[in-house]
Structure 1
């Protein structure tokens, strides 16, 4: 009980519900932890301490009078600085919005509050979530808690670092090209990219865009599952939101499941340190009774589809802005070059890939593969420029192992898989059939319970 900040959200919710601890005690413990470690990692960029304490006092009073408001009653949560939060500064990591204070909450924020969670503040992100390295001109870089000289990943890097260091037990994020999965891998926590539509979002200009999704992050799979249950669900303002009510699979373990293992997702370069860690994952699942088979994947078309739709989206979302940072500006310029013929080719490529993977998942229940092609890199380095001596053409190319999966319309989780020889975290990616988020979480939980890698805390 002396380290409330490292209890899970599931444990905290139970302790608060049974009044063994108060929400005020829990919030104070996490505020103390933020004071202690945030100056080292720069994960929480806008803190609302007074508001959080007031909300905790209200939560305790409501609990005494009426009972719990929801499954997350009194549990602290942090929101990515891309998510609008009413009355709380939301910068999107951009100097253009350094003083922006929205008047409404995003859907995921609304649902977390409705479930009883208490907002602690906002977590760092690169400008408009552009890239898998969390640095911006407003707040600077977020550092990896396992090695402060390294990147925390991105674009939900602030969320991942805050979770790893015990500043919050839950954090929301978003993922277009790996932004929930990559920082989870870099920071030894769990991130889930849900099936698009599982967690709805609103857009006035790109309501049908399915590559970017909001989702949950936590230190354990059980907490990710708990959080997903709170934020998932149909919303008529999202045209592809899923009506099915999310529920965990009743079965446990992986015995009898058919698991495909791809060490390189069909020929991608993978740093030998990352490869050595992820290569241990198949044996873990085999010991648990799964049937594991190494496969040769054909993800051709994923590259063209992702880059075309990403570029189109950036032009749509940011083409009217001046003063953008270099990465966002580069993406917008890529969008200016997209033609109707490019969109035709991208749609054909993505459709063909979807059908090939539908046939693939007739044979296999899940696919496991590396999350990232590299371990955490130096925080001063803008991006990865080469892997195993192979030069990369631009700042996006090192993220292919994540963004190729984004094109599949499939759920994918990053779960701690171990550490490199110099103590840097590495995650394994678990990919399931579209709409089978519960199956992905079932496999992730079995892997987590069998290995215990997520229990290793950073040396702060």
Structure 2
């Protein structure tokens, strides 16, 4: 933990704010780390070192009042290559946009910059964020730093690897079917899928679409909470944006909380290596004073709801686009088949599931479960084709443990839970009641502090 590039965002912000470090010094530390490490893992695909250096110099020249008002003053951050960044190449992982340079910042970028964060570059993602394995035709594959022959997960895989290797202390990501949680699990960092509406997104084509959210990633829950406080907040351009101001819960631990434990989310196949690691989580919560109960979870309807709405959204977004990669094109083709009757059934299924889970959360404060059904798989494989002898029908199916949770309109965090015998990271998923993001972070923080798996660094 003596390496300066592994200093937390919270510590970094404090040192800059109190004059014990300069933004330029911090930036150069991370630029040096990127130069040494990034060629091996391919996490940051567009680097804006000169632009970042000018921003860091401006940060160091700012007055005390300005510094005090910016919680991330001088802290480097990387943005997923799906979000628009003014005057910085944004490819969406697609050859169609390989040289695209937007003229504006997305809202999440605006908020991070307003809080004083310094953009250092863009992180790799599969084409249009399609899939939980970060590889595309523009930049190639991002490699897992704990084993360079393995996948980093996705679609925020570049962000997770940049964090795990100390290239940045903070990164943003997005999540429809697990894209904040899966790479966090694969790379031993923390990712939060917020309640939809906590981090509003502005859209003029699918403003009511709630399956896809943006959120924070970092190496610690404290840093995720710090970043979340910056990017969360009401915006009237989002019709389901939450007006309530996010505030962290006091660190009271988990004593007395009712914790539901599901080893397989209702019968999903789980690789024995992943199962062995996640099975240790209930005992941790019990030692911390929580009341843990293994449950038989009923998430029926989640599969139909997720696949129908996902397919519909892909057709809406890309129906008239030619030259798409195979995964995106497949999703669009599925969307073209969706009928009004299909949407009606999906809405009924999701509504009934929501009410069942509302009753479930009347009994339990949080649900804990595996994030992913498998540990990191070989990087050359496009996806996981089989789990425990059960064949996966397509490239989506292996991530049901994450995308079934996406349907619940609930906050969910991935927190480091340990390692397989061959040193691959595994995360535990902490799911809370809708709108109780602060409770999820409090529980995640207690688990993190008790286990400290997140302190284990990749053997680069």
Same-fold call, TM cutoff 0.5: yes
Structure 2 residue 219 is matched with structure 1 residue 219: yes
Please give the alpha-carbon distance, in whole angstroms, between the structure 2 residues aligned to 1:255 and 1:73: 35
Q: Deviations over 1:242-294 (max 9, x none)?
A: 00000001242000000000000000000000000000000000000000000
Match of 1:311 in 2: 311
8 Å Cα contact 2:67/2:73 also seen in 1? no
Q: How does 1:27-426 map to 2 (within 5 A)?
A: 27-63=27-63, 66-426=66-426
Shift of 1:389: 1.0
Secondary structure of 1:352 counterpart: helix
Match of 1:442 in 2: 442
Match of 2:4 in 1: 4
8 Å Cα contact 1:69/1:114 also seen in 2? no
Please give the alpha-carbon distance, in whole angstroms, between the structure 2 residues aligned to 1:418 and 1:66: 41
Secondary structure of 2:417 counterpart: strand
Shift of 1:3: 2.4
Match of 1:25 in 2: 25
Please give the alpha-carbon distance, in whole angstroms, between the structure 2 residues aligned to 1:174 and 1:287: 33
Structure 2 residue 452 is matched with structure 1 residue 452: yes
Match of 2:13 in 1: 13
Shift of 1:66: 4.3
Shift of 1:68: 3.5
Please give the alpha-carbon distance, in whole angstroms, between the structure 2 residues aligned to 1:219 and 1:143: 18
8 Å Cα contact 1:62/1:69 also seen in 2? no
Please give the alpha-carbon distance, in whole angstroms, between the structure 2 residues aligned to 1:378 and 1:345: 37
Please give the alpha-carbon distance, in whole angstroms, between the structure 2 residues aligned to 1:187 and 1:3: 19
Q: How many residues align?
A: 460
Shift of 1:67: 3.3
Shift of 1:69: 4.3
Moved more, 105-114 or 58-67: 58-67
Secondary structure of 2:254 counterpart: coil
Q: Deviations over 1:75-117 (max 9, x none)?
A: 0000000000000000000000001001111111000000000
**Pairwise CA RMSD of aligned residues?**
0.9
Shift of 1:234: 0.1
Please give the alpha-carbon distance, in whole angstroms, between the structure 1 residues aligned to 2:63 and 2:320: 47
Please give the alpha-carbon distance, in whole angstroms, between the structure 1 residues aligned to 2:12 and 2:258: 35
Secondary structure of 2:201 counterpart: coil
Q: Which runs of 5+ in 2 are unaligned?
A: none
8 Å Cα contact 1:188/1:415 also seen in 2? yes
Moved more, 247-256 or 342-351: 247-256
Q: Which runs of 5+ in 1 are unaligned?
A: none
